[in-house]
Amino acid sequence: MDFGAINPAVLIASLMVAAVPIILAAIGELVVEKSGVLNLGVEGMMIVGAIGGFVTAVTTGSPLLGFLGGAAAGAALSVVFALLTQFLLTNQVATGLALTLFGLGLSSLAGQGYNGIKPPATHALPFGPLAEIPFLGRVLFGHDWVVYFSVAVVAATWWVLGRTRLGLVIRAVGENHEAAHSLGYKVTRIRFGCILFGGAMAGMGGAYVSLVRVPQWVDGITSGAGWIALAIVVFASWRPWRVLLGAWLFGGITVLQLNLQAAGSAIPVEYLSMAPYLITILVLVIMSSGRGRAALSAPASLGQNFHASH
C-alpha cells in the first residue's frame, strides 16, 4: 500500500540504512561519554573513516576490508585525541573541535585522485524466501550485514554497560573518577580504551557513508552526521536503545524529505532538512551549561580531566 507516491516498506527500509552511520558513531560516543570523556571530534573521525574505508576497499577490492580500514582510520585519529586529553590534559572541548577540523583537512588531502571512482559493492545478505514476505521481507530482510551489525552493537553495548563488571567500571569512572581511582581502577587506561572504541565506531560509520550510502568519494561526504550523533547521545540520556530510536528518527526525517521532494509535495522540504541541525545546535547550547547537563542526567565527571595525585 502506498501513501501518495511513498511506499511505507521502502521508506522504513531506507531509513534503517540511512541511520546506520549515525547509530555506529553515536553508540561509540555514548561509551566514550559514559567513561567521562567528551569528544566533539566525532565528525572528524567519521570523515577520516570514510576516506580510509574508501581507499582500502578500492585498493583491495573487498568491502569488508574497507569497513575494517575505516574503523582503523577512525581509531587512529582517536588516539591523537586520547594522548592529548588523557596524558597532556588538554581541554577536551577544544581538542575535539580541533580534531574535527584536522580530520576534514586530512580527508580532503587523502581523497585527492579518488573522485569519480566507484567502490566495490556491499551486497544484501541472502535470506532466500524470507525476503519475499510481503512488507516484512522488504523491511527486515533486504539489507547488507552492516545494518544488522549496527543493531547488534547497540544490543551488545546495552548488555556490557548494564550487565557486566566492565560496564560497571566504565560507569563508575564516568560518574566519579577520583573514587574509581581510589578503588584501584586505572582511570586513564579505561578512558583510553573507550576513546579507541568510539573512534573505531565513528570510522566504521564514515566508511558506510562512502561505501554504501553514497558509494563514491567527495569532500565533506559525512555532511555533519557526526554532530547529529553527538546530539542523539544527549537526547537519548546516554541510553543505548534510545540512541537506536533517535538515529532511526533522524534517518526517517532524511529519507522522508527526499521522498516528499520526489513526490512533488507542497510541504517545503527545507523545513525537514534543517530540523536535525537546529536540534543539534540546541543540544550543544544545553551541553555548554552545567545546569542543562545535570538535568539531562549526564555522567557527573563528563568533560573533566583526571590527574592521579601522587
- The pLDDT tens digits for 114-163 are 988 999 999 999 988 888 888 889 899 989 999 999 999 999 999 999 99
pLDDT tens, position by position, 45-103: 999 999 999 999 999 999 999 999 999 999 999 999 999 999 999 999 999 999 999 99
Rounded to whole angstroms, how far apart are CA atoms 104 and 99? 9
pLDDT tens, position by position, 6-31: 678 888 999 999 999 999 999 999 99
Q: Judge contact between 63 and 145, C-beta under 8 A.
A: no
* Neighbouring C-beta atoms of residue 37, cutoff 10 Å: 30
What's the pTM value of the predicted model, to 2 decimals?
0.91
Q: Judge contact between 226 and 46, C-beta under 8 A.
A: yes
**Cell numbers describing residue 220:** 565533506
The label of the residue with cell 580530520 reads 103
**Cell numbers describing residue 64:** 569488508
Task: With a cut of 80, say whether residue 178 has pLDDT above it.
Answer: yes
* Structure letter (DSSP) for residue 85: I
Task: With a cut of 90, say whether residue 235 has pLDDT above it.
Answer: no
Q: Judge contact between 255 and 249, C-beta under 8 A.
A: no
pLDDT tens, position by position, 194-222: 999 999 999 999 999 999 999 999 999 99
Cβ-Cβ contacts under 8 Å for 118 (sequence gap 6 or more): 215, 216
Domains of the chain: 8-115+143-295 (1.10.3470)
Q: What is the pLDDT of residue 254?
A: 78
* Structure letter (DSSP) for residue 303: T
Q: Confidence band (pLDDT; 50, 70, 90) for 289? A: low
Q: What is the pLDDT of residue 287?
A: 62
